[in-house]
Amino acid sequence: MSKKVWYWINERIPLSSILRMGMDEEIPGGSRFSYALGSATLLVFLIQLITGVLELFYYAPTVDHAYDSINFLRVEVPFGWLIHGLHYWGATAMIVIVSLHMLRVFIWGAYKNPRQLTWILGVILFLLALGMSFTGAALPWDQRGYWAAQVGTNIGGTFPFIGNFIKQVIRGGSSMGQLTLSRFFILHVAVIPGIIVMFIILHLVAFRKHGSVGPWEEEKRNVTGQFWPDQIFKDVLVAIIILLALVALSTFSPPPFSGPADPMDSSYVPKPEWNFLFLYQALKFFPGVLEVIGTVGIPTVLVLLLLLLPFIDKNKIRNPFKRLIVVPTGLLIVMAVIILTIAGYLSGESTAVKQKSNSKEVLHKENFSSNDIRLGKQLFTSIGCIGCHSIMGTGGTVGPDLSNEVQKGRTKEWLIAQIQNSKSHNPTSIMPPFSFLKVAQLNQLVAFLLTPSNMGSGSAPQIASTQPSNSNANTVAIPDTASQSKVDSVNLQSAGLAASILGSAEHGKVLFDKNCIACHGKNGIGKIANPGSATGVVPALNPISQRLYNKDPEIFSKNIDIIIQHGAVPKGANPALKMEAFGDQQALSQQQISDIEAYILSMNGIERGMIKDPGMEPVSFFTLIAVVFAGIGLIFLVVWNVKKKK
């Protein structure tokens, strides 16, 4: 019956001959595991295609919903964690496997006549894969992807003459926004994949036309093996290992939640995707005018070398040990890329920041005398600035931290205007006007604020001593912040937007240490005195009050969100510290609040990104497929041995 159907189909479509074309082939030297890299690449492409389409069932390509929609998939859709995890790790696997595939072809000399075009098509496919990696990373519109796209398009902008044009066309405007996301989206899901499929077909047809190249030693070429089933069998084994590895990575090392994109957040230090790290690291060798060498020069040369390789290395010798110039040069370049990638990965976030601030510091140091800076430092304490503002970890938290005024791009003029009348910059500012300061004093204060490097040493002002004794404290401002678990004194308002955003605990810690630590203590342990309040201390966040705690991360977030958004006044006669309304006063953005909430949850043992509906627990799922594959392997091993003995 099945034969009849098969014939019926083949009379109409030549399926059989298509299959034969794909399967029937003699492999000189027999099948090998190292030949499996090509089909492994195809496998990963299929995984990306399938998981990518599945992600599209839930993903929304808009700046307001992209991040939430991906998190919905990951947390609330059964097996969403698996789909997203496979796609995320598959992208990495793709670059790794393609690179290994190319390396093997390079060492075997398989790009030589008549296979030049197969190689060139492969290089184009590799570049398209990089394009997928770049555009895909931006789609969740999280901090990581947003900033990687920001930096990436800026790199495009360094192209001589037409850089700005290229940058604007890719971004869909001069700045990053909805049109940027739309462009990245359509490139990632339609344009590039379409081109990739076409090139894969061409690549495979070219490969089939000339077949496997086989070993370079003539004597080993006498043995032959069939593509089907000999090579396919090895391909399948490699495929299973890759599949298991991808599921293991999705289970035990899920993609991080890096928080929603926040263009205003200057505390996030961007880094590109790992496969572009070598370029990012190489750029550091080309400061200033030379930058274009790193951004445009190096990539162009590398791509040209790859494309022209079959024409540079033309002679027929394939044995890598006899190609004494090409092979060592190629391996040297590969080593350089690997070393730069590792260096780029290890280079601390601080390096980038340091480089930036150092250059600016030098600029400002020239303008201010050390005496001015010293006097400014004294003023900062004596007139009560420190009551509200902290600098290098000391001071109040009503106002913004002033440690990084240089990085914020503040100028002398801006700061003077702010000190004299803060309402000139922000009409709702609660900062009192310090109009009584003389011009000389203003200059000293500004000198101090714009010279962070002179801060850390010896006579750092002590908030504890200035605060209670300073009679001006009441008029200038009381350092307040702090929290409150007495819900009755909290504004009975609803939770804000932040409560429904899945923030990044990691970045939340950075923000917490900047904004919350003064009152809630390191790691939220609390115990900071709050004279005048009923309990006498600022409530601890770690562990947090049972009234706020909840096992459901969303409810937990909502509970604390009300306090962070709208503030709270502790019970007691006259509490010195009260919780500021960080949301209402727009002291923190909703994205930042969501990050801080994720951090507070994590301090209390609750993961903000906890999977609500996994379909099947990740670890159980991984165990299941590992056991199934191991079981099948065992059965076949036994059958094989029994048959062999017969």
Partner 1 sequence: MKEEGGLKGSSQFSRRGFLKIFSVSLASISGLLLGIPALDAIISPALKSRLTSFSKAGKIGNIPEGSPVRLTVASSAKDAYLNDTEMHNVWAIKKSNSDIEVFSPICPHLGCSYNWDPQKSQFECPCHGSVFAENGKVISGPAPRSLDTLPTKIEGDELYVEWEKFQLGINKKVKI
Question: How many residues in the chain?
Answer: 646
> Quick one: 25 or 361, whose CB is closer to partner 1?
25
> Quick one: 69 or 143, whose CB is closer to partner 1?
69
φ and ψ of 158, to 5 deg? -85, -5
Sign of CA dihedral 583, 586, 590, 596: negative
> Quick one: 413 or 488, whose CB is closer to partner 1?
488
Neighbours of 38 (CB within 10 A): 20
> Quick one: 23 or 169, whose CB is closer to partner 1?
23
* Residue 236 contacts partner 1 per CB under 8 A: yes
* Residue 168 contacts partner 1 per CB under 8 A: no
CA atoms within 13 A on the CB side of 496: 24
* Residue 65 contacts partner 1 per CB under 8 A: yes
Could you give the dihedral angle defined by the CA atoms of residues 207, 324, 30 and 37, in that order, rounded to the nearest 10 degrees? -50
φ and ψ of 317, to 5 deg? -65, 125
Binds partner 1 by CB under 8 A, chosen from 126, 216, 257, 621: 621
Assigned token pair, 113: 């006549």
Q: Which residues, numbered 538-567, are part of the site for partner 1 (CB under 8 A)? A: none
In the complex, what is the shortest distance from the CB of residue 544 to partner 1, in angstroms, rounded to a whole number?
24
> Quick one: 409 or 633, whose CB is closer to partner 1?
633
Determine whether 521 is exposed, middle or buried from the number of CB atoms within 10 Å of its CB (0-12, 13-18, 19+).
middle
* Residue 57 contacts partner 1 per CB under 8 A: yes
521: left (phi over 0), alpha (psi -120 to 50) or beta: left
Determine whether 463 is exposed, middle or buried from the number of CB atoms within 10 Å of its CB (0-12, 13-18, 19+).
middle
In the complex, what is the shortest distance from the CB of residue 559 to partner 1, in angstroms, rounded to a whole number?
15
* Candidates 170-178, 231-239, 257-265, 352-360; binding stretch for partner 1 (CB under 8 A): 231-239
In the complex, what is the shortest distance from the CB of residue 56 to partner 1, in angstroms, rounded to a whole number?
11
Helical pair 80-108 and 116-138, crossing angle rounded to 10 deg: 150
> Quick one: 496 or 539, whose CB is closer to partner 1?
496
Alpha helices in 486-613 (DSSP H): 505-515, 517-520, 553-566, 590-603
* Candidates 108-116, 164-172, 236-244, 381-389; binding stretch for partner 1 (CB under 8 A): 236-244
- Tell me, residue by residue from 110 to 149, as one string, x for binding to partner 1 by CB under 8 A and - for no binding: ----------------------------------------
N-term to C-term CA, the chain = 33
- Tell me, residue by residue from 13 to 42, as one string, x for binding to partner 1 by CB under 8 A and - for no binding: ------xx--xx------------------
Binds partner 1 by CB under 8 A, chosen from 7, 252, 345, 640: 640
Alpha carbon distance 356, 454 (integer Å): 17
* Residue 229 contacts partner 1 per CB under 8 A: yes
* Residue 230 contacts partner 1 per CB under 8 A: yes
Q: Which residue has the tokens 């599921």?
A: 247
Per DSSP, the three-state class of 142 is strand
Q: Which residues, numbered 463-522, are part of the site for partner 1 (CB under 8 A)? A: 500
Binds partner 1 by CB under 8 A, chosen from 233, 252, 285, 345: 233
Binds partner 1 by CB under 8 A, chosen from 232, 296, 478, 569: 232
> Quick one: 224 or 535, whose CB is closer to partner 1?
224
In the complex, what is the shortest distance from the CB of residue 622 to partner 1, in angstroms, rounded to a whole number?
11
In the complex, what is the shortest distance from the CB of residue 61 to partner 1, in angstroms, rounded to a whole number?
13
Q: Which residues pair with 394 in a beta bridge?
A: 391
Q: Measuring CA to CA, which residue among 358, 366, 397 is closest to residue 587?
A: 397
Assigned token pair, 239: 């495929």
* Candidates 32-40, 392-400, 476-484, 627-635; binding stretch for partner 1 (CB under 8 A): 627-635
- Could you tell me if 526 and 481 are in contact, meaning their C-beta atoms sit under 8 angstroms apart? no
Any residues with CB less than 8 A from the CB of 115 and at least 6 apart, and which?
Answer: 206, 210, 213, 310
* Candidates 57-65, 113-121, 355-363, 559-567; binding stretch for partner 1 (CB under 8 A): 57-65
In the complex, what is the shortest distance from the CB of residue 178 to partner 1, in angstroms, rounded to a whole number?
17
> Quick one: 438 or 646, whose CB is closer to partner 1?
646
φ and ψ of 116, to 5 deg? -55, -45
* Residue 7 contacts partner 1 per CB under 8 A: no
Alpha carbon distance 594, 201 (integer Å): 46
Determine whether 378 is exposed, middle or buried from the number of CB atoms within 10 Å of its CB (0-12, 13-18, 19+).
middle
Q: Which residues, numbered 239-268, are part of the site for partner 1 (CB under 8 A)? A: 239-240, 243
Could you give the dihedral angle defined by the CA atoms of residues 501, 502, 504 and 508, in that order, rounded to the nearest 10 degrees? 50
In the complex, what is the shortest distance from the CB of residue 237 to partner 1, in angstroms, rounded to a whole number?
8
> Quick one: 116 or 500, whose CB is closer to partner 1?
500
* Candidates 56-64, 375-383, 396-404, 559-567; binding stretch for partner 1 (CB under 8 A): 56-64
Binds partner 1 by CB under 8 A, chosen from 27, 40, 54, 139: 54
Q: Determine the size of the site formed for partner 1 (CB under 8 A).
A: 45
- Could you tell me if 318 and 112 are in contact, meaning their C-beta atoms sit under 8 angstroms apart? yes
* Residue 643 contacts partner 1 per CB under 8 A: yes
Neighbours of 396 (CB within 10 A): 26
The binding site for partner 1 (CB under 8 A) comprises 19-20, 23-24, 50, 54, 57-58, 60, 65, 68-69, 71-72, 76-80, 82-83, 226, 228-230, 232-233, 236-237, 239-240, 243, 500, 615-616, 621, 624-625, 628-629, 632, 636, 639-640, 643
